[in-house]
Structure formats: structure tokens, C-alpha cells
């Protein structure tokens, strides 16, 4: 019951936000126009990033065997599991939107908790693809 109530509240808040953007557009309220512009840029970027990322997560779940994950990220892998976790996190596109589903997949395939925590932590810090995207937003040509 509580979850359904929170879901309705989220929809109400989102509709109030859209109403604010609409009123800002009608009355040329500069702050609302900037918020709307930033929202559209963010939504466009997420629509570009998330579907391919989730397809890749699905392919990872199907193509990579449990034995490979246990060998590379499991208890018996030693220190290399941290290096693999950091490398995987540095190349993950989408930040925490994508890192938690990948961490869930790693968990279900037999990865050790410490390598999963290393992955989630590193994915919040080392975001090479996101850094490239943010640099392009700032106008830096790569």
C-alpha cells in the first residue's frame, strides 16, 4: 500500500513539474525555460544511453558464463578481482543507472561481495565515457 501511495505521489510531483514548465513557457519565465531546456537535454542523453546499455547488460547476462565471473570476480581470484572491477567500472556507460543492474548480474553469476562493492564504488568515481560526454557538453572537441 505504501509503495502505491509513493508511486502516485511521484506522478503528481512530475505533473506539477510539467505544469510549471508549461506555465513558464507561456509567461516566458526564464528560470523555468532553463529548467525545461536542461530537462530535455538530460532526457535526450538518457534515451540515447540507457536502451543500448540495457541491451548490453542482457547480452552480458546471456553470453558470459558463471564460471568466467567466478574465476575473475569470485573469492578465489585474489587481488585481480579488484583490478577487473575497477576496469569494468571505468568503461561502464550510464553511471549508477547502469552500474546497479550490472552489479546485480555480477552477484547472480557468483561474484564476490568485495568485487561488487569495488565495482559500484568505482563506477561512481571513474566514469571515462561520462567524462567524455560531459567534456563535449562543455564544448571541448575530442
Residue 79 pLDDT = 92
Nearest to 90 by CA among 53, 47, 130, 56: 130
Residue 142 pLDDT = 62
Q: pTM for the whole thing?
A: 0.65
Q: What is the mean pLDDT of the chain?
A: 86
Residue 2 pLDDT = 60
For 69-89, write each residue's pLDDT tens digit: 999 998 888 899 999 999 998
Residue 69 pLDDT = 92
Q: Which residues of the chain have pLDDT under 70?
A: 1-5, 142
Residue 112 pLDDT = 92
Residue 61 pLDDT = 87
Amino acid at each position: 500500500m505504501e509503495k502505491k501511495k509513493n508511486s502516485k505521489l511521484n506522478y503528481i510531483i512530475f505533473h506539477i513539474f510539467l505544469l510549471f514548465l508549461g506555465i513558464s513557457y507561456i509567461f516566458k519565465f526564464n528560470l523555468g525555460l532553463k529548467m525545461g531546456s536542461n530537462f530535455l537535454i538530460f532526457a535526450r542523453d538518457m534515451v540515447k544511453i540507457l536502451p543500448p546499455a540495457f541491451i548490453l547488460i542482457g547480452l552480458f547476462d546471456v553470453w558470459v558464463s558463471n564460471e568466467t565471473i567466478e574465476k575473475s570476480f569470485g573469492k578465489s581470484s585474489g587481488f585481480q578481482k579488484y583490478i577487473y572491477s575497477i576496469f569494468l567500472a571505468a568503461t561502464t556507460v550510464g553511471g549508477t543507472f547502469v552500474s546497479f543492474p550490472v552489479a546485480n548480474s555480477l552477484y547472480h553469476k557468483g561474484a564476490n561481495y568485495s568485487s561488487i562493492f569495488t565495482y559500484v564504488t568505482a563506477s561512481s568515481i571513474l566514469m571515462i565515457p561520462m567524462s567524455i560526454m560531459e567534456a563535449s557538453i562543455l564544448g571541448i572537441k575530442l
